[in-house]
Structure 1
Amino acid sequence: MQDIAQRKLLADGYSPWLLEPTSNERDIVQVVNHNRAELDALVLEHGAVLLRGFDVASVDRFELFANAVSAQKSDYVYRSTPRTSIGNGVFTATEYPPNETISLHCENSYQRNWPLRVAFCCLTAARTGGETPIADMREVTRRIGARILENFETKKVRYVRHYRPHIDIPWQTVFQTSDRSQVAAFCEDNGIEHEWLDDDTLRTSQINQGVAYHPRTHDKVFFNQAHLFHISNLEAALASSMVSFFGEDRLPRNAFYGDGSAFDPADLERIRNAYRESTIAFAWQQGDVLLVDNMRVAHGRNPFEGERKVIVSLLDPYSPDATELHAGDYHTREAAV
């Protein structure tokens, strides 16, 4: 890449690859247009590329960047967290209270299709905290170990959710419709069991992958959100209150093996430790853009103080069951090395 300095962001261990301009040419869209094959190759090689010092000061500029990186966007339907659409394929990052930690995960790995890449942009850096920590999923998978990985690959993961008024995310937000017939159609198309219960409560259940294979590198990685959906992800006192109030069979969200059997709590804790022990973080700077391979790198969010605005675009939609692949997509494109 001409007039762009390249290096590891962090000296030791896993690190994003850093790109910084060395001239007055700071138009990030032009950088992508002139170097897209090399940028694709860097993301594939390093899992995450941080573009710093370029002209990205607005939602519109980030949207142009995302469009230059990929013409294919993922919509955010069958949601698990609150977000707001603020552009064409651009969303706010998960809108949880600033004092909360968002555990590391791969985007939409609780679904049967997901974005192969995720682009983040920091428009406003928090006064303190607010990092988007990441982890190399190859290292996470290694730390989880063969026994647990085999169980997840063989049995898969069943996600059970109950949507009711004023608790968690309403079904109207999750499915992006207030029409029950459209919910039924979506569930039918995506292999989701659904049932309307009393008190305007909707129950859904879906069995999805526990591991997945990267379509380009063929790496086998732990790829699900069992550790997030399971009731044990909550603080013990809150989890106990939820069970007492709703009952174990009607919790807002929970996860099991695909055959309905329970996870070993020790296995879930080992999974969470694998993420924690593999995590690295860096401080956001205003205008930073982080482009990650969603199967190679997990992401989360640290608590923060002060105003923070990070926006997201979900790129290169992918399904391992797809019968047709779009020419030029990240999972089929031959990137320059």
Structure 2
Amino acid sequence: MPSPPSSKTFFANKRTAVAASDNGLVRVQRLDDLQVLVKMEPEMEEIDLIQWAAAKRDFLDATLADAGAILFRKFKLKTVEQFQAFVETACGPPLEYKERSSPRSQVSGNVFTSTDYPSDKTIFLHTEQSYNYVFPLRIAFFCVVQAAEGGETPVADTRRILQRLRPETRMRLENQGYLYVRNFGSGIGLSWQEAFQTEDPLEVERHCRGSFIDYEWLSKDRLRTRQRRPVVAHHPSGAKAWFNHMAFFHVSTLEPDIRRQMLENFSEEDLPNNTYYGDGSSIEPEIMDEIRAAYLAERKMFQWQSGDILLLDNVLTAHGRSPFVPPRKVVVAMARSCTWPELAPYDFGTR
């Protein structure tokens, strides 16, 4: 792991920032039991994280390229506005939430609630918006209120997930990619209006053509989309990472009671979400089991504390959510837009 450079950092002093030269202002620690996660804590209470991050942006990028995740703790950030300022300083302007797949509420600017999903349910590990043609390289979470119990945001190293898969599984999926089929308008999940953030079908069609998504209007309010995506990304560091939503959206990943209800109420082609091999054929149950087992074998957990910030390299680190006892408030922001051709040699076809 790279060591912090000996450049300036900053202290908070009422409304002004005072520069000081000191190598020991922030403690950097790779947690023994969480090899995917680096923890950073201030050595002195007066350190202003936003100002410090402005001077250490290259160091933060290098740390993320190595570890994949950074937990900032005890920096005394209290407001969503401070969190947004940190994200903009460390990563760039927060991105809009486009081509949505999960319900989120806007908190401030481009800061949103983490997925609005029942507190007693698990959200499986995934890499944010990897099903999209355009996705964020950075995702950050801010714990405003820690859960009374549970509510962890587990993380997993996608480089190690890829290494856990059998060579024959990797080869087939790297060659074919996967197909994500989505049905809007069934009453389950987001409507196409919410997902694409428009009431105009022509705007939806323009987005789909520009993002290599096949679309089919089944009725005025029912839309079916199909998009083929790679399963592996070539990170700018040179590492290969398992970067996709193949397991997350596959019907077999749903909790048993939800899966049963879905299969009782929908034909396979009408399921709100499902995934296939890139040629459209069904993925064998044992392959899905293998992939989910690889995620879970790499899953690492930590307990949130109010005021924590978790910053992830979205390509190198998957995240999820554990069930919790309310109250819990964790907000999220994304940054650094990237497209699939920048990270994978893949034939997306013609627009």
Larger RCO (CA under 8 A, 6+ residues apart):
1
Q: Deviations over 1:15-72 (max 9, x none)?
A: 4111111113232111111222212211122111111111311110001001101224
For residues 252-271 of structure 1, what are the structure 2 equivalents within 5 Å? Answer: 252-271=272-291
The change in CA–CA distance for 1:127 and 1:116 in structure 2 (over 3 A counts) is same
The residue identity in structure 1 corresponding to 2:144 is L
Match of 1:312 among 317, 332, 336: 332
The residue identity in structure 1 corresponding to 2:118 is P
Instruction: Tell me how far apart the structure 1 counterparts of residues 166 and 35 of structure 2 sit (CA, whole Å).
Output: 19
Q: Deviations over 1:61-113 (max 9, x none)?
A: 00100110122443221111111122222111111110010010111111222
**Contact 2:84 2:94 (C-alpha < 8 Å) held by counterparts:** no
**Contact 1:232 1:239 (C-alpha < 8 Å) held by counterparts:** yes
Instruction: Tell me how far apart the structure 2 counterparts of residues 138 and 195 of structure 1 sit (CA, whole Å).
Output: 35
Match of 1:292 in 2: 312
Match of 1:329 in 2: none
How far apart are 1:165 and its partner, in Å?
Answer: 4.9
Match of 2:96 in 1: 75
Match of 1:54 among 48, 70, 75: 75
Residue 207 of structure 2 is aligned to residue 186 of structure 1: yes
**Contact 1:104 1:301 (C-alpha < 8 Å) held by counterparts:** yes
The residue identity in structure 1 corresponding to 2:246 is A
Residue 321 of structure 2 is aligned to residue 321 of structure 1: no
Match of 2:27 in 1: 5
Residue 177 of structure 2 is aligned to residue 152 of structure 1: no
Match of 1:272 in 2: 292
Q: Deviations over 1:117-159 (max 9, x none)?
A: 1111111100100010001111111112221111111111111
**Contact 1:149 1:222 (C-alpha < 8 Å) held by counterparts:** no
Instruction: Tell me how far apart the structure 2 counterparts of residues 320 and 254 of structure 1 sit (CA, whole Å).
Output: 21
The change in CA–CA distance for 1:288 and 1:41 in structure 2 (over 3 A counts) is same
Match of 1:332 in 2: none
Q: Which stretch of the first structure deviates more once superposed, 219-228 or 282-291? A: 219-228
How far apart are 1:164 and its partner, in Å?
Answer: 1.1
Match of 1:302 in 2: 322
**Contact 1:73 1:317 (C-alpha < 8 Å) held by counterparts:** no
Match of 1:176 in 2: 197
How many residues are treated as equivalent by the alignment? 321
For 2:247, what is the secondary structure of its paired residue?
helix
The change in CA–CA distance for 1:24 and 1:75 in structure 2 (over 3 A counts) is same
The residue identity in structure 2 corresponding to 1:52 is R
The residue identity in structure 2 corresponding to 1:258 is G
For residues 205-244 of structure 1, what are the structure 2 equivalents within 5 Å? Answer: 205-215=226-236, 217-244=237-264
The change in CA–CA distance for 1:199 and 1:244 in structure 2 (over 3 A counts) is farther
Q: CA RMSD in A?
A: 1.7
Instruction: Tell me how far apart the structure 2 counterparts of residues 64 and 164 of structure 1 sit (CA, whole Å).
Output: 37
**Contact 2:94 2:111 (C-alpha < 8 Å) held by counterparts:** no
How far apart are 1:242 and its partner, in Å?
Answer: 2.1
For 1:150, what is the secondary structure of its paired residue?
helix
Q: Deviations over 1:292-315 (max 9, x none)?
A: 111111100000002111111111
Instruction: Tell me how far apart the structure 1 counterparts of residues 257 and 57 of structure 2 sit (CA, whole Å).
Output: 49
TM-score (norm 1): 0.91
**Contact 1:26 1:53 (C-alpha < 8 Å) held by counterparts:** no
**Contact 2:186 2:272 (C-alpha < 8 Å) held by counterparts:** no
Instruction: Tell me how far apart the structure 1 counterparts of residues 222 and 199 of structure 2 sit (CA, whole Å).
Output: 14
**Contact 2:68 2:313 (C-alpha < 8 Å) held by counterparts:** yes
For 1:44, what is the secondary structure of its paired residue?
helix
How far apart are 1:13 and its partner, in Å?
Answer: 5.3
Instruction: Tell me how far apart the structure 1 counterparts of residues 333 and 286 of structure 2 sit (CA, whole Å).
Output: 35
Q: Deviations over 1:180-233 (max 9, x none)?
A: 111111111111111111473111111111211112x12112211111111111
Instruction: Tell me how far apart the structure 2 counterparts of residues 124 and 68 of structure 1 sit (CA, whole Å).
Output: 23
**Contact 1:149 1:211 (C-alpha < 8 Å) held by counterparts:** no
Match of 1:142 in 2: 163
Match of 1:40 in 2: 61
For 1:307, what is the secondary structure of its paired residue?
coil
For 1:280, what is the secondary structure of its paired residue?
coil
Instruction: Tell me how far apart the structure 2 counterparts of residues 179 and 113 of structure 1 sit (CA, whole Å).
Output: 21
The residue identity in structure 2 corresponding to 1:260 is G
Give structure 2 stretches of 5+ with no counterpart: 5-22, 344-351
The residue identity in structure 1 corresponding to 2:28 is Q
Fraction of identical pairs, as percent: 38
**Contact 1:162 1:202 (C-alpha < 8 Å) held by counterparts:** yes
For residues 17-36 of structure 1, what are the structure 2 equivalents within 5 Å? Answer: 17-36=38-57
